[in-house]
Amino acid sequence: MKNFELINHPFEPIFDKNSKILILGSMPSEMSRKANMYYGNPKNRFWKVLSIILNSPYPETNEDKINLVKKNHIALWDVLSSCEIRGASDSSIKNPTINDFKIITDNAKIKAVFTLGKTATNLYQKYTGEKSIYLPSTSPANCAITETELINQFRQILQYL
């Protein structure tokens, strides 16, 4: 079993002044950090599900992914700025430090905050005291939920865009 590793969040948030919703994960996985992009694991279903509900072509490059979310008024970031974690296991997170969301909320008109997965939801609500709208994790580890179910759950973001 892997040891705990201190991870400092490696990416800036993706947003602009036109962002209307904020989607937050917990912390980028090792594969995402290597790909230098949110949800960078090729088996993660985030980009596929998002492109389907937005009726857009699948974004192949990191630049395409950034353009997809900005064009659709979506901000992307993660709840944590740092934590100790074992591999990519959200359930192993300890000593979390939360990001300062004012970087986004002070510079965009965010109507809703969505959190991906139970860990991101619990951490966000615990450390901000605010509610978020839960979306199931798109991680390949969350194989209990089908792609169709993910698409149906993700469609709720459309009412805020």
pLDDT tier at 91, thresholds 50, 70, 90 = confident
Per-residue pLDDT reduced to its tens digit, 30-62: 899 899 999 999 999 999 999 999 999 999 999
How far apart, in whole angstroms, are the C-alpha atoms of residue 146 and residue 151? 9
The answer for residues whose C-beta is within 8 angstroms of residue 73's C-beta and 6 or more apart is 18, 19, 20, 21, 161
Q: Which backbone phi and psi does 59 adopt, to 5 degrees?
A: -80, 115
CATH topology of domain 4-160: Uracil-DNA Glycosylase, subunit E (3.40.470)
pLDDT tier at 29, thresholds 50, 70, 90 = confident
How far apart, in whole angstroms, are the C-alpha atoms of residue 114 and residue 131? 9
The whole model's pTM is what?
Answer: 0.93
Residue 89 has pLDDT above 80, yes or no: no
Q: What mean pLDDT is reported for the chain? A: 93
The catalytic site residues sit at 44
Q: Which backbone phi and psi does 160 adopt, to 5 degrees?
A: -100, -5
How far apart, in whole angstroms, are the C-alpha atoms of residue 124 and residue 132? 8
pLDDT score recorded for residue 24: 98
Going from N- to C-terminal start, the domains of the chain cover: 4-160
